Amino acid sequence: MNYFCTMNAFSDTIIEWYAENKRDLPWRNTKDPYLIWVSEIILQQTRVSQGYGYFLRFVERFPDVQTLADAPEDEVLKYWQGLGYYSRARNLHAAARGMRGKFPNTYEGVRALKGVGEYTAAAICSIAYDLPYAVVDGNVYRVLSRYWGIDLPIDSTQGKKTFAAMAQELLDVSRPSLYNQAIMDFGAIQCTPQTPDCLFCPLAQSCQAFSQGKVAQLPVKQHKVRTVDRYFHYIYVRAGAYTYLHKRTGNDIWKNLFELPLVEADHALAEEELLASPLLHSWLAGNGSFTLGLRRRQVKHVLSHRIIYADFYELILPEDTVSFGEFLRIPIAERGRYAVPRLIQAFWEREDV
Ligand code: SF4
């Protein structure tokens, strides 16, 4: 028999499923809004399996709002190194500094925190304070669009409004914390993007997408993300026991992280082109002899809107070199203290340089 659950029955089924399938995650066994906030920010763009260790290390070092607020930004970024989307860490830190030791306890107060959108505010407020705000994230869009057979694009204004209203109506207001966590886990474990487990799904009998054979077509998105290719040529300088870094500033990826001297171009430069680069020459001015050699070509690093193709060169300078452009001179043995993009960390590790 094919029938829709009532809204209450839908919520009850999801909560029953959760009781049996709940993941044992450290941020699920707490009502501390700070810990829930940190976990939600980490998980915004990160899989649970990757974020788990980061969460534990982060809250061990920064166990509460004040400790985070008191820490230098460079250290916060270092604990974030490898997670990507570093604006999340900068926003966490800035928001902690604005709290004066006390986490806000209203939806409006939480929503006003830097880097906190509607989804994160609803998650924090429902889980920590049992406030009746429904979460709407990718998991929720997927479950609702499939179960109710809705093909409105989830990235359209109309789609967003419809799904948000529906999610709010479905929310079990007597237990918002439980319901929100249940539907997020249901989407993450049962009704997954590529391989939903429809055959063993407690909602299968009444699921519209399943009965109509449309599971793979839902949810619908109207815009494809456009990506831009960028070509980075990193120069790993070695002058005796020293190397050179600089901090990225400006409104671009990896803001406030450290990186190797970089020549960016609109295409992958051949070695001779790099050698002729005015930027490289300006850095080398005043330095005597040098040797430049390619260590690694076309390392592909995929970000949400960009694909970076990186070549890594090694530049050997005389041991007594004391400056290279405006870069920061650091002992190679201490480079691990600096927060760098994963791309650079991986180069150091793989090349054993
Ligand atoms: S039957 Fe399949 S598509 Fe429908 S809710 Fe269950 S897992 Fe998702």
Contact by Cβ (8 Å): 200, 210: no
Contact by Cβ (8 Å): 159, 223: no
> Which letter does DSSP use for residue 239 in this model?
B
Q: pLDDT per residue over 11-45, tens digit each? A: 999 999 999 999 889 998 899 999 999 999 999 88
- Please report the atom of ligand 1 found closest to the CA of residue 196: 7
Question: What pLDDT score was predicted for residue 45?
Answer: 80
User: 270, 255, 353, 252: which is closest to 311 by C-alpha?
Assistant: 270
Which domains, ranges and CATH numbers included, belong to the chain?
Answer: 7-217 (1.10.340.30), 228-351 (3.90.79.10)
Q: Nearest C-alpha to atom 8 of ligand 1 is from which residue? A: 191
2: Cβ–Cβ under 8 A, 6 or more apart, which residues? Answer: 205, 206, 211
For residues 173 and 125, give the distance between their C-alpha atoms in angstroms, rounded to a whole number: 13
**Strands of the chain, DSSP E:** 228-238, 242-247, 258-259, 262-265, 291-302, 306-316, 328-331
| Model pTM above 0.85 | no
Q: Which residues pair with 263 in a beta bridge?
A: 233
User: 252, 233, 226: which is closest to 311 by C-alpha?
Assistant: 233
Instruction: Report the catalytic residues.
Output: 40
Q: Which of 183, 190, 199, 218 to mutate to test the pocket of ligand 1 (most atoms within 8 A of CB)?
A: 190
Token readout for 103 is 């986490």
| Distance of CA 193 from the midpoint of ligand 1 (Å) | 10
Question: What pLDDT score was predicted for residue 330?
Answer: 96
Report, as ranges of residue numbers, the positions in the chain whose pLDDT lies below 70.
1-5
Q: Which of 147, 189, 208, 211 to mutate to test the pocket of ligand 1 (most atoms within 8 A of CB)?
A: 147
Question: Phi and psi (nearest 5°) for 104?
Answer: -60, 150
Question: What pLDDT score was predicted for residue 3?
Answer: 46
For residues 69 and 98, give the distance between their C-alpha atoms in angstroms, rounded to a whole number: 8
Residue 19 sits at the vertex; the CA angle it makes with 56 and 32, to the nearest 5 degrees, is 35
Q: pLDDT per residue over 72-125, tens digit each? A: 999 999 999 999 899 999 999 999 999 988 999 999 999 999 999 999 999 999
Question: What pLDDT score was predicted for residue 41?
Answer: 97
Question: What pLDDT score was predicted for residue 224?
Answer: 76
| Distance of CA 163 from the midpoint of ligand 1 (Å) | 17
Contact by Cβ (8 Å): 309, 262: no
